[in-house]
Amino acid sequence: MMLPDRCDQPSVRVTNLPRVMAVGDYQPDHIDQGIGVRGQVSQLSAAQSSPHAGFECQRCGTATEIPMGDEMVEPHERSGCERQGPFKLVRNLCECVQQQVVRIQ
């Protein structure tokens, strides 16, 4: 089974954040907050795409999102009900997550 959508989607850049701070002022309690960090990029990794597919268990109706490789593979069993399918692909739960590591100083 092939992935439903390609991962070649536009990049997103967030601007005009309400809070911008220097690298040294960033603290662990800032994780998961929308803040800007001002610094100089010292290292940049290549962007990597990680496709995820959503499947719905046809017995219990629960949807599960699963990371995929190059090909889409249905789950063997659903962890919530421990049943072995059948599963149905839910296209609106399929997405491609892109990530890149940026080291700043």
Q: Does a structural domain hold residue 63?
A: yes
Asked if 1 and 87 touch (Cβ cutoff 8 Å), the reply is no
d(CA 82, CA 78): 5
Q: Does a structural domain hold residue 99?
A: yes
Token pair for residue 78? 């659903």
Q: Does a structural domain hold residue 14?
A: no
pLDDT confidence of 1, banded at 50, 70, 90?
Answer: very low
Whole-prediction pTM? 0.45
Residue 18 has pLDDT above 60, yes or no: yes
Q: Does a structural domain hold residue 79?
A: yes
Boundaries of domain holding 76: 40-104
Q: Does a structural domain hold residue 5?
A: no
pLDDT confidence of 31, banded at 50, 70, 90?
Answer: confident
Q: Does a structural domain hold residue 98?
A: yes
Average pLDDT over every residue of 39-43: 88
d(CA 18, CA 101): 23
Q: Does a structural domain hold residue 2?
A: no
Residue 2 has pLDDT above 50, yes or no: no
Q: Does a structural domain hold residue 80?
A: yes
Q: How far is CA 18 from CA 14, 23, 32, 84, in A?
A: 11, 16, 14, 48
* Residue partners of 100: CB distance under 8 A and separation at least 6: 44, 45, 46, 47, 48
Per residue in 64-93, pLDDT (tens digit) is 777 776 666 777 666 666 667 788 888 888
